[in-house]
Chains A and B, each alone.
Chain A
């Protein structure tokens, strides 16, 4: 799979694949906390479809990050089944998963280019092709001039863009994003959303995006899973009919406004 061969228009014109990449059925996650049992997730049924942008929305503490960790294989389920391309997830699947955290978590002693190549390096797959792709992706997010800079020389938004590139370099099948713009200021955040949608519409990589910002979810997603807290359950999955390609004008469309209205009703 080579992400960047097709243009945005070609990508959007292509019919969506509808096979499931990640399948969760009756997933529970409980853990002990201060002598009590916390039901972090309760009977979650959810399919992540190949090539879709899926958001998990809910208040903090509703278990959306736990759900993401389960998909990454960083945490294990207490009950039920969770499959990745038909196979049970029991451990991290680094080559198939790209993970973006709330913080950029760039290593301060590495140049940006060496930071974005880190996962490939750790998997022993650092090749000339990876390097080329890293450069292409840095170019796509407007960081090509900074590939030899150190993280401390970049702004928060630029660092987070580098973190997204890092998650994409090894060509995973899914990008898991845990409130990736939560630590940025509102203006940078909006800018990053536009950047992300541009990247996504070019790559059409499967994305699972965790956020508590419903506008962000509405702007980015194909489908939005609204979660409730304690125990964490999925209340409703909403399919977006906000047209693509999306840009700064999207927020003024009636579809977008209907969607956010519906979401805020569900979350209140």
Chain B
């Protein structure tokens, strides 16, 4: 017996037309498609900006003299044949910056640990630390040359002086930022200061410390270049000064581009390492303020 009202259509019970898996899969496909489109647009815009940059450069270059603003193609012609020479200089600069960042970083980290743990150390040392940052460090560069000669040493020293501060500051902030409940847990468990440092403070400060290290590494490049400007005949900084001396502006642009690439690779390598370490340790990063690249 089939009872159907003439007005309402027959309703089927117990037969569901709803396939959850298919719905989810469709939605996922849609999202992926949107995401892919977004990425393509992002990259297109990025290329557009780069093309626009060179177009503007070209536009102004033809209205200027090669001494002030050479055309992009001239920069390429001046730079590419000298690639071996430039690579040598870059390698030299890279070593100075890296060594400077290492020395500065070690000192910055050690001082940071000391200051975070001792109020007295902070009171006594902070005037000197602040003064070392308040003085325009570039002004110290000639002095370092007098002390350390014309080789790599003064450049490493300037790089270290600039690089130590970001790591010091971030180490202090990180070590002080430890959640008090965790400190209480360690205290209640009878942990000594050594255990609390290695098993708690250092680990929870790690995101801050790694961010500080990345900034230090980038700043060290600045220190190395400043050192090379002032003395010596090796390194990208020295090469820029020499190119300026013989009015080879096109080569100067090429060297500046080389420096930018070194800085960029420093930044990206440091950030990759940072993420890898934090991911392996299941720690979330200190901040989400980094630029996406």
* Chain A residues engaging chain B, CB cutoff 8 angstroms: 72, 74, 92, 94-95, 97, 99, 101, 103, 105, 107-109, 118-119, 122-123, 150-152
Check if B191 is an interface residue, CB within 8 A of chain A: yes
Closest to B200 in A: A107
B286 to chain A, nearest CB (A): 13
A189 to chain B, nearest CB (A): 19
Task: Across the A-B interface, give the 6 residue pairs with the lowest CB-CB distance, nearest first.
Answer: A94-B190, A119-B189, A109-B281, A99-B188, A122-B191, A122-B189
Closest to B206 in A: A109
A93 to chain B, nearest CB (A): 8
Could you show 7 A-B contacts with beta carbons less than 8 Å apart? A92-B189, A101-B184, A105-B181, A109-B282, A118-B189, A122-B186, A122-B191
Q: Is the CB of B185 within 8 A of A105?
A: yes
If A74-B188, A95-B190 touch, whether A105 touches B182 (CB-CB below 8 Å) is yes
Which residue from A92, A103, A105 sits with its C-beta under 8 Å from B190?
Answer: A92
Q: Is the CB of B190 within 8 A of A122?
A: yes
Interface centre among B182, B185, B187, B191 (most CB of A within 10 A): B185
B5 to chain A, nearest CB (A): 44
B6 to chain A, nearest CB (A): 49
B152-199 contacts to A, CB under 8 A, are 179, 181-182, 184-191, 195, 199
Interface SS of chain A: helix, strand, loop or mixed?
Answer: loop
Interface SS of chain B: helix, strand, loop or mixed?
Answer: helix
Given known contacts A92-B189, A109-B283, what 6 new A-B pairs fall within 8 Å (CB)?
A: A74-B188, A92-B190, A99-B185, A108-B281, A118-B185, A119-B189
A115 to chain B, nearest CB (A): 10
Q: Is the CB of A103 within 8 A of B181?
A: yes
Interface centre among B184, B188, B191, B284 (most CB of A within 10 A): B188
Contacts of A150 in B (CB 8 A): 282
Which residue from A74, A101, A152 sits with its C-beta under 8 Å from B282?
Answer: A152
Contacts of A107 in B (CB 8 A): 182, 199-200, 203
A101–B187 alpha-carbon span in the complex (Å)? 13
Contacts of A108 in B (CB 8 A): 281-284
Q: Is the CB of A101 within 8 A of B181?
A: yes
* Chain B residues engaging chain A, CB cutoff 8 angstroms: 179, 181-182, 184-191, 195, 199-200, 203, 281-284
Contacts of B203 in A (CB 8 A): 107, 109
A120 to chain B, nearest CB (A): 9
A152–B284 alpha-carbon span in the complex (Å)? 10
If A109-B283, A150-B282, A152-B282 touch, whether A74 touches B190 (CB-CB below 8 Å) is no
Contacts of B281 in A (CB 8 A): 108-109
A72–B283 alpha-carbon span in the complex (Å)? 30
B191 to chain A, nearest CB (A): 4
Contacts of A109 in B (CB 8 A): 203, 281-283
A118–B188 alpha-carbon span in the complex (Å)? 12
Q: Is the CB of B179 within 8 A of A105?
A: yes
A103–B187 alpha-carbon span in the complex (Å)? 16
B24 to chain A, nearest CB (A): 22
B166 to chain A, nearest CB (A): 24
A122–B283 alpha-carbon span in the complex (Å)? 21
Q: Is the CB of A74 within 8 A of B184?
A: yes
A253–B188 alpha-carbon span in the complex (Å)? 38
A99–B190 alpha-carbon span in the complex (Å)? 12
Which residue from B182, B188, B283 sits with its C-beta under 8 Å from A94?
Answer: B188
A263–B87 alpha-carbon span in the complex (Å)? 80
A123–B186 alpha-carbon span in the complex (Å)? 10
A20–B199 alpha-carbon span in the complex (Å)? 36
Q: Is the CB of B195 within 8 A of A122?
A: yes
A92–B283 alpha-carbon span in the complex (Å)? 29
Q: Is the CB of B187 within 8 A of A74?
A: yes
Contacts of B284 in A (CB 8 A): 108
A144–B282 alpha-carbon span in the complex (Å)? 20
If A103-B181, A107-B200, A150-B282 touch, whether A123 touches B188 (CB-CB below 8 Å) is no
Q: Is the CB of B181 within 8 A of A94?
A: no
Q: Is the CB of B188 within 8 A of A97?
A: yes
A97–B189 alpha-carbon span in the complex (Å)? 8
Contacts of A122 in B (CB 8 A): 186, 189-191, 195, 199
Closest to B191 in A: A122
Contacts of A152 in B (CB 8 A): 282
B180 to chain A, nearest CB (A): 10
Interface centre among A105, A107, A123 (most CB of B within 10 A): A107
A6 to chain B, nearest CB (A): 27
Closest to A93 in B: B190
